[in-house]
Amino acid sequence: MPLQEKDKKLEIINFVSETNDSEVINAIHDLLADHTESTDFWDELSPDQRSKIEEGLRDIEKGKVVSHKDVKAKYGI
């Protein structure tokens, strides 16, 4: 029988409280820290990556696009 969410939480709490494995503790800590951060992905991009995305968006606004169908036809896909 699958564990209910409440049971899973209790199992995790028990496991963490009983382990002395610092690698496991650190991995769980890092996972939770990454999960709870509300950092916008945009803030993680380099200036060059941001510039390229903005350039692509300007191209779309100007109609400088090629359809997926046309690209597939061009390359015989």
Per-residue model confidence (pLDDT) at position 19: 93
Give SS3 for 40: coil
Angle at 57 between CA 46 and CA 36, to 5 degrees: 50
Chain-centroid distance, C-alpha 48: 20
CA distance 69 to 76: 10
pLDDT 10s per residue in the chain (77 long)? 577 989 999 999 999 999 999 999 999 998 888 766 667 888 889 999 999 999 999 999 999 999 999 999 999 99
In which residue are the tokens 């009983």 written? Answer: 18
Per-residue model confidence (pLDDT) at position 50: 96
Per-residue model confidence (pLDDT) at position 48: 96
Per-residue model confidence (pLDDT) at position 20: 94
